[in-house]
Amino acid sequence: MEKRMLVPNEIVDETIAAGVKKSKLKTLQMIILGIIGGAFIALGGYSSAVASHSIENFGVAKLVAGTVFPVGLMMILLGGGELFTSNTMMLIGVVDGKVELKKMFKNWFFVYFANLIGSIIIAYLIFASGGLDVNGGKLGAYALKVAAYKGSLPFYRAFTSGILCNILVCIAVWMSYGAKDIIHKIFAVWFPIMAFVVAGYEHCVANMYYFSIGLFAKTNPAYAEAGHFTAEKLSHISIGSMIQNLIPATLGNIVGGAVCIGLMYYLALKRIPAKVEVSKGLKM
């Protein structure tokens, strides 16, 4: 009977192979697929906000948001797309000698900024379509609330939260590489991503969307009024605040994905020789 899941050391090889393929993408492919990836994450973020923004119970609201948000990564992994945070695991291909360091950095650079473009495009389309007017403008107020919170995070909190976030995101992608059919891939992705959303960790690509939609929402005073926002809170929603959040969140995501998941598994399963037990039989 054919296996439905690869074992961990086989997933290492699968992840390295995926990194090799990513390193061979042409620049235009990286940009197009990166825009798609950023767009899908943004759509997941918007949908989860629609589902959860009016729930007063904090835990229930987080659970509902976490249940919906994983659709973004599912669309990327099953439909196609490039996501910076999961591409951090390309590092093990470099360590294994199968991916050139400069090609990894090229992929990271173009995919990162393409993810940003995709996030901005979806944020604008949602804003222009009246998508934030849901529930009497309370969804617009929620967009401001999320962006203001993220814009006020200190560097070290955003950095450490970014590490925790990408541990969960990359283990989701890692397990999806080990799954051989769509159903198993969906379940492999769903629960770790749900955990990161429920916990509220910092994901740089998701934050690209949250800040973009927050900046668009800020241009409509009705949303600030619906959320009773002060000028001080609104001051945390700016391009400067976005950059101040994305830098530590991105660095944390790199550590969480490239080191805590990719490199740790690679060292444990590929670089450290396993002891082979040889059965010598029974001596009579």
Is 278 contained in some domain? no
The 10s digit of each residue's pLDDT in 98-112 is 999 999 999 999 999
Is 16 contained in some domain? yes
Is 279 contained in some domain? no
Is 167 contained in some domain? yes
- What sign has the CA pseudo-torsion 234, 153, 43, 47? negative
Q: What DSSP designation does 5 have?
A: B
CATH at residue 50: 1.20.1080.10
Beta bridge partners of 5: 179
Mean pLDDT, the chain, rounded, equals 94
Tokens read off for 133: 């007017």
The 10s digit of each residue's pLDDT in 198-213 is 999 999 999 999 999 9
Domain span holding position 138: 8-270
The 10s digit of each residue's pLDDT in 155-173 is 999 999 999 999 999 999 9
Is 283 contained in some domain? no
- Our count of domains for the chain comes to 1
Pairwise CA distance, residues 220 & 49, whole Å: 18
Is 131 contained in some domain? yes
Is 1 contained in some domain? no
Is 284 contained in some domain? no
